[in-house]
Chain A
Amino acid sequence: MEIHFEVNGKACQVETPPMKRLLDVLREDLRLTGTKEGCGEGECGSCSVILNGEVVNACLVPACQVEASTIITVEGLADGGRLSVVQQAFLEHGGAQCGICTPGMLLAATAFLEENAAPEREQIKAAIAGNLCRCTGYMKIIDAIAAAAGSRLERAD
Chain B
Amino acid sequence: MISTIQAWSPRTLAEAYQLLTREQGRIKVLAGGTDLMVALHARTECPPAFLNVWPLAELRGITETNESVRIGALTTYTQLMRSTPVQHHAPILVEAAGVIGARQIQNRGTLGGNIVNASPAGDTLPVLAVLEAELEIGSSRGTRLVPFNAFYTGYRRTVLAADELLLAVILPKRRPPEQQYFRKVGTRQAQAISKVVMALRLQQTQPGRVDFIKIAFGSVAPTVMRAPLTEALLQNQTLSPARIAAAREQVMAEVQPISDVRSTADYRRTIAGNILARALYELGQRN
- A residues with a Cβ closer than 8 A to B are 1, 17-21, 40-43, 45, 48, 51, 54-57, 59-62, 64-65, 67, 108, 111-112, 126-127, 129-132
Q: Does B102 contact A (CB under 8 A)?
A: yes
Q: Quick check: is B9 within 8 A (CB to CB) of the other chain? A: yes
Complex alpha-carbon distance, A21 and B41, angstroms? 9
Interface residues of B (CB under 8 A from A): 2-7, 9, 30, 32-34, 37-38, 40-42, 50, 52, 54-55, 78, 101-105, 107-108, 189-191
Of chain A, the residue at the smallest CB distance from B31 is A65
Q: Are A130 and B3 in contact (CB under 8 A)?
A: no
CB atoms of A130 and B104 under 8 A apart: yes
Which listed residue (B4, B9, B103, B189) contacts A127, Cβ 8 A?
A: B103
Q: Which residues of A are found within 8 Å of B108, using beta-carbon distances? A: 56-57, 60-61
Q: Is the CB of A64 within 8 A of B52?
A: yes
A93 to B215, CA, bound (A): 48
Given A20-B3, A56-B108, decide whether A61 and B103 contact each other with a Cβ distance below 8 A. no
Q: If A19-B7, A129-B103 touch, does A60 touch B78 (CB 8 Å cutoff)?
A: no
Inter-chain CA distance A51–B108, complex, in Å, is 10
The answer on a CB contact under 8 Å between A60 and B9 is: no
Report chain B residues within 8 Å CB of A108: 103-104
CB-CB < 8 A to B38: which residues of A?
Answer: 41-42, 60
Contact assessment for A65 and B42 in the assembled complex, using a CB-CB cutoff below 8 Å: no
In the complex the two chains form, what is the Cα distance from A130 to B188 in whole Å? 12
Q: Which residues of B have CB within 8 Å of A132?
A: 191
CB nearest neighbor in A for B34: A60
14 extra A-B contacts, CB within 8 A, seeds A18-B7, A19-B40, A60-B104: A18-B9, A20-B2, A20-B3, A42-B37, A55-B103, A56-B107, A60-B34, A60-B105, A65-B33, A65-B54, A126-B102, A129-B103, A129-B191, A130-B190
Structural contact, A40 and B41, CB atoms closer than 8 A: yes
Selected A-B contacts with CB under 8 Å, 13 pairs: A17-B2, A40-B41, A42-B37, A42-B38, A48-B104, A57-B105, A59-B37, A60-B38, A61-B108, A62-B7, A64-B7, A64-B50, A67-B55
Taking CB atoms, residues of chain B closer than 8 Å to A18 are 5-7, 9, 50, 52
B30 x A62 contact (CB < 8 A): yes
Give complex CA distance A132, B191 in Å: 10
Which residues of A are found within 8 Å of B107, using beta-carbon distances? 51, 54-56
Q: Is the CB of B3 within 8 A of A17?
A: yes
In contact, B37 and A62 (Cβ under 8 angstroms):
yes
Contact A130 B41 (CB under 8 A): no
User: Judging by beta carbons under 8 Å apart, are A59 and B9 in contact?
Assistant: no
Q: Which residue, of B6, B40, B191, has the highest number of chain A Cβ atoms within 10 A?
A: B191
Question: A129's closest neighbor in chain B, by CB?
Answer: B190
Q: Is the CB of B52 within 8 A of A65?
A: yes
B33 touches A60 (CB 8 A): yes
Complex interface: chain B residues within 8 A of A60 (CB)? 32-34, 37-38, 104-105, 108
